[in-house]
Amino acid sequence: MNHGYAQDAEHGKTIFKACAACHATDHANRVGPGLGGIIGRKAGAVPGFRYSNAMKTFGMVWDAKILDAYLASPQKVVPGNRMPYAGLKNATDRADLVAYLATLK
Ligand code: HEC
């Protein structure tokens, strides 16, 4: 268990349950695109997934910082994107979630 300030990917995995309804942890597309290899991947770039124009033209490569901002407030960071998720307000939970996302290959 990790009780310090370090990010806790194990905790992040439990938070990911809120995402798992739409996202696979590998490269399979469901309601949302597969999140395998999300860190370092260009936004809106999974072949065969029908992204919104907003996501297709976002133009950023997902890193921990941009993911954190996006998950805090998806519509603020990518206005007009079609992900039906209001945002995760707790910064510690978000950091843990992003740490977990970084383990997905
Ligand atoms: C109800 C379904 C749903 C939920 C819940 C959901 N997403 Fe999404 N997500 C989507 C859809 C749909 C898109 C594509 C949005 C677009 O094209 O505008 C998306 C896009 C994304 C992207 C961009 C992927 C890329 O290839 O550029 C990331 C990252 C992401 N979601 C992470 C998450 C995380 C982490 C959670 C949990 C906190 C989550 N999502 C919850 C449906 C969902």
Q: Which residue has the higher pLDDT, 2 or 78?
A: 78
54 lines ligand 1 (CB under 6 A): yes
Q: How far apart are CA 81 and CA 1, in angstroms?
A: 36
Q: Structural domains in the chain?
A: 9-101 (1.10.760.10)
22 lines ligand 1 (CB under 6 A): yes
Mean pLDDT calculated for residue range 23-40 = 98
pLDDT at position 3 = 53
Question: Of ligand 1's atoms, which has the minimum distance to the CA of residue 51?
Answer: 17
Give nearest CA residue, ligand 1 atom 38: 19
Q: How far apart are CA 79 and CA 73, in angstroms?
A: 10
> Using an 8 Å Cβ cutoff, are 10 and 23 in contact?
no
Give nearest CA residue, ligand 1 atom 6: 19
pLDDT at position 104 = 97
Could you read off the pLDDT of 12-30 as tens digits, one per residue?
999 999 999 999 999 999 9
Amino acid at 33: P
> Using an 8 Å Cβ cutoff, are 93 and 1 in contact?
no
